[in-house]
Amino acid sequence: MTQDLKYDLVVRSRRAVLPGGERPAAVAVRDGRIAVVAPVHAPLDGAHEEDLAGLALLPGLVDVHVHAYEPGRADAEEAGFTTATAAAAAGGVTTIVDMPVPSLPSTVSVAALHAVRAAAAGRCAVDVGLWGAVVPGNVAELGPLRDAGVVGFKCFLAGRNAPFAAETSAGAGGGADGSVPLDKADLRAAFASLAALGPDTLISVHAEDWSEIRQAHGRSYATYLASRPPRAERRAIEQVVAAAAATGVRAHIAHLSAAECVALIAGAKAAGIALTAETCPHYLLFAAEEVPDGATEFKCLPPIRDGINREALWRGLEGGVIDCVASGHSPPDPRGQGTQDAANAGDFGAARGGIAGLQLSLPAVWTVARWRRHGLTDVIRWMAERPAALAGLPLKGRIEVGCDADLVAFDPDAEFTVRGTELLNRNPVTPYEGRVLAGVVRAVWLRGERIDAGAARRGHLITRAKG
């Protein structure tokens, strides 16, 4: 074979997860892209070759809901993009899309977008896209933000002007600009403005109606759960459905936790409304009955609900009503929740909500999925293919010729016990502590380059494909 036909990397696996299903394959990479997908023993000449033997070969996961907390708040979390993307890589996630909050500035304008990109530049182990924020008064910024390459927009229907201001501000963005909520009039105006930008414009919504939420106090998880009832999500989603139906804008429901909303979303889809939804690994693994009083490491917004609700979420995901799974990665403040801060000692009202999920998303979902008789093809559809399509990233989420060579060697049969001190977050407190999860990431390649501890950070800042 002549030198110009030699590939940079060839990876062989008897369990490659391809768009058509799982089968033995060899994947050849040139210049960061997948050049060939061939039978496993095909004579491909690679400068570097990897035979994964019994390991599965997956496309890198795409996580469309991550809070990296930078710029402006890295001291309150996990050193921002540096550790967030390291955790992503350790979990087999090769592309994240960062939310507008609680960075300071939040991405409410092009100038703010440039500031966030500057904070991320040269510090990312994986590729990073950005959401833009929709807040009251920034309608004129939406078109420029889209032209500047945000994958879509994010808004809140609950925020710091609610009666529960302290709790919501802490959990939904710490009062950063992008957490300012939209009322019904604001929401209609925002959707009308986004519609003018074209039919492919996407808005993700934190869908909780603040009028249905009450301030939580004390150590009782049942009391906290009752403070954010399912009807808060349902009424917010009803607003989103109405706005999407009136304008044609693509709407996405972030971190769906209330399974009673699955039928509402299914009905909207059946009516032709452009609506998608995500849920999170913690909603699919945990149940409210398992949460001890005072265990504020389980606090998230919306909350983890009961086991019956969990089962219904799984059925919504399996049936395609819920489109994908995203981590909702929002690590707790290492100075607060579950650490030395006495003010937060088990008080669900005082504790900041948020779960660090990037590193554990794949094993958390796989642990339950395999018990429910799902294969890796299903998990990749939920956590790579559909999120990439949602975010307008056609080169991501698939092992296919022409796509970026973002690859993961995964041991689906290995098990491990979660220890927070071994995770790549500054705060070791995690609701997964002591859990035995299935599936271990053994190696990760970003555009054909292996990601190793201490290696150069080759992550790119990426933008949504136009058209």
Q: What is the pLDDT of residues 362-406, one digit of tens each?
A: 999 999 999 999 999 999 999 999 999 999 999 999 999 999 999
Judgement on whether residues 221 and 331 belong to the same structural domain of the protein = yes
CA-closest candidate to residue 364, choices 375, 379, 353, 352: 379
Look up the CATH number of the domain holding residue 18.
Answer: 2.30.40.10
Section 204-231 average pLDDT = 94
Residues 145, 49 share a domain: no
Residue 395 lies in a domain: no
C-alpha pair distances (Å), 254 with each of 72, 109, 464:
24, 22, 18
463 inside domain? no
Residue 423 inside a domain? The answer is: no
CA distance 27 to 44: 9
Within a domain: residue 464? no
pLDDT band at residue 177, thresholds of 50, 70 and 90? low
Which candidate, 167, 162, 189, 157, places its Cα nearest to that of 254?
157
The alpha carbon dihedral of 167, 173, 163, 264 has a sign of negative
Count of residues making up the chain: 467
Give residue 323's pLDDT. Answer: 98
Say which residues have a Cβ less than 8 Å from residue 267's Cβ, sequence separation at least 6.
none
Question: Does 109 share its domain with 170?
Answer: yes
Q: Mean pLDDT over residues 13-29, rounded? A: 97
* Residue type at position 36: V
Domain with 288 in it: what CATH number? 3.20.20.140
Same domain? 198 vs 149: yes
**β-bridge mates for residue 18, sequence order:** 21
Backbone φ and ψ of 325, nearest 5°: -120, 130
Predicted model pTM:
0.93
More confident residue, 5 or 145: 145
Name the domain count of the chain. Answer: 2
- My answer on whether 316 and 305 are in the same domain is yes
Q: What is the 3-state secondary structure (H, E, C) of 313-356?
A: HHHHHHCCCCCEECCCECCCCCCCCCCCCHHHCCCCCCCCCCCC
Which one, of 63, 64, 71, lies nearest residue 117 by Cα?
71
Q: Is 224 found in the same domain as 114?
A: yes
For helices 262-270 and 307-318, what crossing angle results, to 10°? 20
Q: How far apart are CA 345 and CA 60, in angstroms?
A: 38
* pLDDT tens by residue, 64-118: 999 988 887 655 444 589 989 999 999 999 999 999 988 888 899 999 999 999 9
Instruction: Indicate if 202 and 272 belong to the same structural domain.
Output: yes
- Which residue range(s) make up the domain with 109? 60-390
pLDDT for 311-343, tens place per residue? Answer: 999 999 999 999 999 999 988 765 444 444 534
Predicted pLDDT at 108: 93
pLDDT at 173 over 90: no
Q: Which residues pair with 147 in a beta bridge?
A: none
- If asked whether residues 331 and 356 sit together in one domain, one would say yes
How many other C-beta atoms can be found within 10 angstroms of the C-beta atom of residue 352?
A: 23
- Within 364-454, strands assigned E span 407-417, 436-446, 449-450
Assign 168 a pLDDT band (cuts: 50, 70, 90).
Answer: very low
Hey, which bits of 380-465 come out as E strands?
407-417, 436-446, 449-450
Residue 426 predicted with pLDDT over 90 = no
- Residues 98 and 21 both lie in one domain: no
* Contacts (Cβ under 8 Å, ≥6 apart) of 181: 155, 156, 157, 158, 159, 160, 161, 162, 210
Contacts of 101 (CB under 8 A, 6+ apart): 67, 133, 154, 172, 173, 174, 176, 177, 178, 179
Q: Which helix (H) or strand (E) holds 268?
A: helix 262-270
ω into 428 cis (within 30 of 0): no
386 and 359 inside one domain: yes
- Cβ proximity of 271 and 245 under 8 Å: yes
- 21-30, 125-134, 207-216: which range is least confident on average? 207-216
Strand 407-417 with 436-446, pairing: antiparallel
Give pLDDT, residue 427. 78
pLDDT of 340 reads 41
- Whole-number pLDDT of residue 341: 52
Model confidence at 170: pLDDT above 80? no
> Beta strand pairing status for 250-253 and 275-279?
parallel
Q: What 3-state class would DSSP assign to 190?
A: helix
Residue 269 tokens read as: 């889809």
Both 34 and 165 in a single domain? no
Q: Report pLDDT for 175.
A: 36
Per-residue pLDDT at 169 exceeds 70: no
| CA atoms of 209 and 235, how far apart (whole Å) | 6
Q: Is residue 171's pLDDT more than 50?
A: no
Quick one: 16 and 163 in the same domain?
Answer: no
Q: Check whether 165 has a pLDDT greater than 50.
A: no
Instruction: Output the six-digit token pair for 358.
Output: 């990037």
pLDDT of amino acid 73: 60
